[in-house]
A and B are shown apart, each in its own frame.
Chain A
Amino acid sequence: MQDLLAARAQMGVSLAFHIVFALVGMGMPVLMVVAERRWIVTGDEIYRELAQRWAKGTAILFAVGAVSGTVLSFELGLLWPGFMRFAGAIIGMPFSLEGFAFFMEAIFLGIYMYGWDHVPPRAHLAAGIVVAASGMASGVFVVIANAWMNTPTGFELAGGVPVRIHPLEALANPAAPTQTLHMVLAAYAATGFAVAGIHAFLLLRGQTNAFHRRALTIALWVGCPAAVLQPLSGDLAARQVARYQPVKLAAMEAVFHTESGAPLVLGGWPDLETETTKGALRIPHGLSLLAFHDPNAVVKGLDVVPRADWPNVPAVHWSFQLMVALGTYMALVALWVAWRALRTGALADHRWLLRAVALATPMGFVATEVGWMTTELGRQPWVIYGVLRTRDAVTPMPGLVVPFIMFTTLYCFLGVIVALLLYRQILHSPQVDEGVWAHMAPGARHADA
């Protein structure tokens, strides 16, 4: 295997692994905080139990997120020293801020997890809020760095070297607002729907369980608003891409030739030889309308750059299509949930709704993975769009296939273990009927914990 390819694959695998835990690290604290707040407000012990079980269930995920994130920070140098030499001074800023966000997250996570009996309830809730806020902040900072790779600003080039560096301008790069918004919403939509889906699945087997009913409601409260907003923020992202990263947009939409009034190409297989997309559904003027809000706008095609500079068009096109399809499904389900909630208030009694939610369990995570594939594969062959090529950023060390195999094996192993442990955790969720709980002796409640 070629060294550059191995490095790209290793980076991709590491990031694809980390993002699962990053999503959970951003989303789950919100769910826990909402449940705990419900407990403080209503005095209903089930909410407290719920917050504690969620905390216990995700502790493993936080740990794996922290260590896989550490690997990434090193890999930026181990695999891409040329990138870091170029970019460190320009985008180190968000990474440094991210470092502090990690600190806050890790500190207050420790307090949250182990402090149930050490601190008063309100301080405990506050610790949870800090975890949620710093989880979000760390996601925002790292995505700002990524947005800069897509739309680099804040420096000038002099003989291939960056000069006149303005880190604050780099922070405020054009892709930053849309990407960070889209990423934060993705975290809430993905975790909200995953948790809701699991509890919906369990409710389908025993609908009276008060524990799952509460869990479902909270998870939907977090997931649904985000899922509804996600296509809107995706539209903002797409317009930003159309403006600043035309080649990526062309690959996403399989636009081979520059044209005005470009159609929206749904699905299909982009054929690089004939430069056409077979078997696709075409909506006339759709793309021009979506990307520039003008039915006759000119959309640049892949033909604006030499073929050697094309990204992997089928992969980018398909990743993007899949994200949009999943996002559409999630948004529709979220609207259905909202409509039911407004009309009857009882979500857990509608079996078809529960089935639709259960079906969405993995969708937010899958959408996030393919969304990142769109962004990252679509940027190739550049690591910094239009400025630095990936092949000029890679480490000179030969034999990169060895670390690639090593880390891939490690992550497969961890992935299997985490999945097994989570599965066991979910199987052991309690069966509590409405009304019974409050009368149980305190010891009995924790009998199975």
Chain B
Amino acid sequence: MNGAAEILAGAVLVSLNAYVLLAGADFGGGVWDLLASGPRRAEQRSVIAEAIAPVWEANHVWLILALVLLFTCFPPAFAQLSIRLHVPLAMALVGVVLRGSAFAFRSYGGQRDEVQRHWGRLFASASVGTPFLLGTAVGAVAAGRVGESVASSPGFYAGYMAPWLSAFPASVGVFALTCFAFLAAVYLPLETDDPEIREDFRRRALAAGLAVAASGTVALALSRGIEPLQRGLLGAPWATPLHLLTGAAGAAALAGVWLRRWRVARIAAASEVSLILWGWALGQYPYLVPPTITIDTAAAPPETLTLAMVALGLGGLLLFPSLYYLFRLFKARSPHAD
């Protein structure tokens, strides 16, 4: 056991968690942009755009932080993930680039409606593809094939496609996408004062909540064949309480949406998604990249870990007050929301 390494692995996960809750909802916003419909289609889109605009770059940095912490503190894990998941990660990056730039081009670029729609479509489709691919990559890690050495599976297909191109990783991709869409739909009613738009998002949140439950069930069912994951997800002593808690959070989120208690719904939905993420992490603990690389075997030397913790501490002192300021400025509107 290596205390510093465990803490830093936890920090990677906290960053990922923040990324999922914040940037994930930005991706989800893109999903609802794509699916915008009805008479208030244009208004829905502009609520989404205004909600995302001031914060998406900051939200996006959580992914960078998770990444740099991973390669600083656990270099072999980063190398292994990068080698085996090259294809889905490269495709996800194309999505990240297209989504970010298309969003900026739409906000600042064309005055003409036609051009705007063009960028809007690109932004929205990239917002669907990217979470799916990122989720697939996570699913592939959980499935335990990414950690095997490349030498053990020669050939391009066996080495670089097979680990992620199968049913379970894909189901995790879909699950991630529905989770993000759900988060966005639950957050969005608080971004507008227009009761009709709120109702639009309320209907979407209810549908997405059910989709989360359905796609989660499919993913769980597909995980049957995956022995270590099964042991972690179902066998461990904490598994049942965690599942119950996750389910309760999900039910509370849906109830909150149903009763238009937006703030309650927000907190419950965020808790539900976070618990799912931590469930995955606990399920494969102490492995970073199962079945070979654990937190201990991948950890950088103690000098590096100590400094990384110092950097995290000092960075956090700067970061959290700044984030608080940002969100208070742009997200503390709608006083009569509840």
**What residues of A have a CB within 8 angstroms of the CB of B99 in the complex?**
67
Selected from A63, A95, A115, A399, the residue in CB contact (under 8 A) with B71 is A95
**What residues of A have a CB within 8 angstroms of the CB of B71 in the complex?**
76-77, 84, 88, 92, 95
- The residues in B between 289 and 315 inclusive whose CB is less than 8 angstroms from any CB of A are 300-301, 303-304, 307-308, 311-312, 315
Asked if residues A111 and B325 are in contact (CB atoms below 8 Å), the reply is yes
Number of interface residues of B (CB under 8 A): 63
Asked if residues A103 and B58 are in contact (CB atoms below 8 Å), the reply is yes
Selected from B93, B103, B319, the residue in CB contact (under 8 A) with A103 is B319
CA distance A403 to B68 in the complex (A): 22
Asked if residues A414 and B97 are in contact (CB atoms below 8 Å), the reply is yes
Asked if residues B304 and A66 are in contact (CB atoms below 8 Å), the reply is no
Q: Given the known A-B contacts A97-B315, A111-B54, A114-B330, are A73 and B67 also in contact in the complex, defined by CB atoms under 8 Å?
A: yes
Asked if residues B322 and A113 are in contact (CB atoms below 8 Å), the reply is no
Stretch of A33-41, A54-62, A180-188, A330-338 contacting B (4+ beta carbons < 8 Å): A54-62
CA distance A115 to B319 in the complex (A): 19
Asked if residues A397 and B86 are in contact (CB atoms below 8 Å), the reply is yes
B90 at the interface (CB under 8 A from A): yes
**What residues of B have a CB within 8 angstroms of the CB of A86 in the complex?**
75
Instruction: State how many angstroms separate the Cβ of B50 from the closest Cβ of chain A.
Output: 9
Instruction: State how many angstroms separate the Cβ of B58 from the closest Cβ of chain A.
Output: 4
Stretch of B37-45, B77-85, B221-229 contacting A (4+ beta carbons < 8 Å): B77-85
Asked if residues A106 and B60 are in contact (CB atoms below 8 Å), the reply is yes
- Nearest A residue to B159 via CB reads A397
Instruction: State how many angstroms separate the Cβ of A405 from the closest Cβ of chain B.
Output: 12
**What residues of A have a CB within 8 angstroms of the CB of B64 in the complex?**
69-70, 73, 99, 102
**What residues of A have a CB within 8 angstroms of the CB of B57 in the complex?**
62-63, 66, 106, 109-110
**What residues of B have a CB within 8 angstroms of the CB of A100 in the complex?**
65, 311, 315, 318-319
CA distance A98 to B72 in the complex (A): 12
Selected from B93, B156, B311, B323, the residue in CB contact (under 8 A) with A71 is B93
Q: Given the known A-B contacts A64-B104, A85-B79, are A110 and B55 also in contact in the complex, defined by CB atoms under 8 Å?
A: yes
B182 at the interface (CB under 8 A from A): no
B247 at the interface (CB under 8 A from A): no
- Nearest A residue to B67 via CB reads A73
CA distance A168 to B303 in the complex (A): 9
Instruction: State how many angstroms separate the Cβ of B318 from the closest Cβ of chain A.
Output: 6
Instruction: State how many angstroms separate the Cβ of B199 from the closest Cβ of chain A.
Output: 27
A296 at the interface (CB under 8 A from B): no
Q: Given the known A-B contacts A95-B71, A118-B329, are A78 and B308 also in contact in the complex, defined by CB atoms under 8 Å?
A: no
A5 at the interface (CB under 8 A from B): no
Proximity bits, A18-31, B CB within 8 Å = 1, else 0: 00000000000000
Asked if residues B97 and A68 are in contact (CB atoms below 8 Å), the reply is yes
CA distance A109 to B330 in the complex (A): 13
A208 at the interface (CB under 8 A from B): no
Selected from B58, B76, B307, B318, the residue in CB contact (under 8 A) with A93 is B307
- Nearest B residue to A62 via CB reads B57
Asked if residues B315 and A399 are in contact (CB atoms below 8 Å), the reply is no
CA distance A115 to B325 in the complex (A): 11
* Known A60-B101, A99-B315, A109-B57; 5 more pairs at CB < 8 Å: A70-B97, A74-B93, A89-B304, A96-B312, A103-B61
- In the complex, the 4 A-B pairs of residues with the closest C-beta atoms, listed nearest first: A92-B72, A77-B82, A88-B75, A63-B104
Residues on B close to A: CB < 8 A? Answer: 53-55, 57-58, 60-61, 63-65, 67-69, 71-76, 78-83, 86, 89-90, 93-94, 96-101, 103-105, 107-109, 150, 156, 159-160, 300-301, 303-304, 307-308, 311-312, 315, 318-319, 322-323, 325-326, 329-330
